[in-house]
Structure 1
Amino acid sequence: MNTHSTVLPVLDVRDLRAGGEQKHAFLTQLAEAARTVGFFYVTGHELCRLQQQVLHKTKQFFALPAAQKQAVAMVNSPHFRGYTQLQGELTQGKPDRREQFDLMQEQAAVHLDPSDPQWWQLVGPNQWPQSLPGLKPVALAYQDALTELTVDLLGAFAESLEQPADVFGETVQKPYTHMKLIRYPGASDQEAGERQGVGAHKDPGYLTIVTQDQQSGLEVLMDERGWVTVPPLEGAVVVNIGELLELASDGYLRATYHRVVTPAAGIDRYSVAFFMAAQLDSEVPLLQLPDHLKVKALGPSADPENPLFYQVGENVLKGRLRSHPDVAAAHYIKRAS
């Protein structure tokens, strides 16, 4: 495996908000980063204090006794919220070497009729560990701040594609957001096998934002260079394009395969991954690109193992069922049969 160190494009969101030539330069950089890599850093945001708080609470959560973490196990939740133990989630059919805690927006569960689509079951309350009451306010505040940043970036993508700035507006009035607190325990080469912290995959939403600690491990697949590392950059978050944005732009913007490699023995890596999709009951808008951009659109990726759906709830649920077969068996397969 040849891995090359690199620094992705770094965009300062203050340039976007400044307007004028600074904003124009930001939009140009954004479009180029999205076309060539699909990944970039964002700086200049106001997340630094919250970043440190949420990473601290993440470490506290994973330090809890196993019984306290299992008390909020995801298999208890038809909404895919809660704790997943080491190797409890699958990517490309293989178990990931990580443990994680998933949360979404705090909502009441939806009463479902048999004729309702199953993806409505994704809506509901989070599970929270009773012994760590400080986790809830910190995690929800960080999720809200990341939602605001992604809405700003979506508007910037719209303008860079020469669309009205609010072209995604109706689909993100109440967006479906999903955040993971993650621990990657270190392992020897023999223990880690192929060293799959997370296997190669694309994300199903509009945009993903990753907050890293000081340990590297995230890698992105670049056509000419192969797997390239995405090292932590102080004060920055990493942003990548998801499948919904690829669909909306007819493939002009491309979701990129990425993975996480297990750290070496004796080293734990902590991160927070935030996924922003459109509202579950919406459909991805197909943007009418100007001719000079349309000719560069390659169409959405065609992968029979990973079909893409314009209906957002269907696309999101597809990924959840595939990644967590235990939750699927407990709460979905019986209803479908």
Structure 2
Amino acid sequence: MTQTEPSTRSTAGIASVSLAQPLADIAGELGNSFAEYGFAIVRDHGISQDLIDRAEQNSKAFFALPGDVKRGYKIEGSGGARGYTPFGTEKAKDANIFDLKEFWHVGRSLDPAHELAEFMGPNIWPAEVEGFEPTFSELYSAFEATGLRVLEAIALHLGLDQQFFAPTVEDGNSVMRLLHYPPLGPDAPAGAIRAAAHGDINTITLLLGAEEAGLELLSKSGEWLSVDVPKGALVINVGDMLERLTGGALPSTTHRVVNPSGEAALRSRYSMPFFLHFRPDYLIEPLERPDLDNSGSGTSESSKFEPITAHDFLMQRLREINLA
């Protein structure tokens, strides 16, 4: 950490709620946490521990494969939307150094005749890892169900119909990422970290595997805050698309994964974020609701967000992070 970099402290104010409660009882706490931090923690999310354990085992088995085998699953020209993206590829927006990670993407499987099939290529599956396809197909569906429940709570917080988001994300271009941050080696570029400061592109992100220290968010006051997560809980954060839709009322907060020190630097870190997206043809334009303004001035930031389809916005941002 340089002397000019903000110090890091714990995020004691982030909401930690149980999704087993009635949504009307948690919508306010969840929404206020998103409005202040862009983040919240969700417990009792409905994704079974058995499924999580199987997914972790399969993820570790894939990343343990030889490099040439993994690179055989890289799909050229796909923007990393499916299959394998090698170490040293992705860079955060405006970053000069690549992130210290490799990953695998699983997306939605659509019939070729589906009206949105042109936006979503078929999944590929590594033959070397037994049970990979059924495990991650099941986890994708579980993530999607949990994400929709979180969106229902957000809709209630915004004063919208509870089912407002259902048609906006139906057959959306959501992507599940299996992440591997290898042990830190002496050949890493100076200044490189596991995930440089960035905001997520999508609607909301659901993250499994954030219990190990390293995830930090940038507060409105300019402090880096460490996100402390109970074992098995999900970290949820607002993405750029939802920020645009709410005219900035729910911010897409800059966050990063910093390098550990000591023994932790010598071991891998694994996690599984699910990037929940709107439908590619959904037009993202700020909701015309005066109650979404958080400035207290009676004016909204909505005017700075021009209407754009979810697909066009995604492609714009993928180019910025070196994936398209």
Shorter chain as denominator, the TM-score bin is 0.7 to 0.9
Deviation at 1:195, TM superposition (A): 4.0
* Root-mean-square deviation (Å): 2.6
1:116-155 matches, within 5 Å, as 121-155=118-152
Aligned to 1:62: 63
Letter of the 2:266 counterpart: G
Query: What are the ranges of 5 or more consecutive residues in structure 1 without an aligned counterpart?
Result: 18-22, 113-118, 329-337
Task: Tell me the equivalent position of 1:299.
Answer: 301
Structure 2 vs 1, CA of residues 133 and 317 (structure 1 numbering), >3 Å: closer, same or farther? farther
**Distance in 2, Cα, partners of 1:152 & 1:111:** 25
- Does residue 14 in structure 1 map to residue 14 in structure 2? no
C-alpha distance after superposition, 1:307-337 (max 9, x if no partner) = 8753111111222233345xx4xxxxxxxxx
Residue number in structure 2 paired with 1:96: 99
Please name the residue that 1:251 is paired with.
Answer: 248
Name the aligned partner's letter for residue 62 of structure 1. F
Give 2:315's aligned residue: 317
Corresponding position of 2:4: none
SS of the residue corresponding to residue 316 of structure 2 reads helix
1:36 alignment counterpart: 36
- Shift of the 69–181 alpha-carbon distance from structure 1 to 2, 3 Å rule, reads same
Q: Distance in 1 between matches of 2:322 and 2:210?
A: 26
User: How many angstroms does 1:129 deviate by?
Assistant: 1.0
* CA deviations over 1:135-179 (Å, ceiling 9, x no partner): 111111111111111111111111111111122232122122111
C-alpha displacement of 1:97: 0.6
Specify the code of the residue in structure 2 equivalent to 1:5: S
**8 A Cα contact 1:185 1:262, kept in partner:** no
Give me the TM-score of the superposition, normalised by structure 1.
0.83
CA contact (8 A) 1:87 1:95 kept: yes
The 3 A distance-change label for structure 1 pair 126 and 108 is same
Task: Give the letter for the 2:62 counterpart.
Answer: F
Please tell me whether residue 53 in structure 1 is matched to residue 26 in structure 2.
Answer: no
Contact 2:79 2:318 in 1 (8 A): no
Question: Alignment identity in percent?
Answer: 26
The answer to which of 185-194 and 49-58 deviates more is 185-194
Contact 1:309 1:315 in 2 (8 A): no
Q: Equivalent residue for 1:115?
A: none
Q: How many residues align?
A: 309
| Larger helix proportion of the pair | 1
Distance 1:253 1:230, change over 3 A: same
> Which whole-Å CA distance do the structure 2 matches of 1:189 and 1:70 have between them?
23
Give the TM-score, by structure 2 length. 0.86
Q: CA deviation at 1:14?
A: 1.0
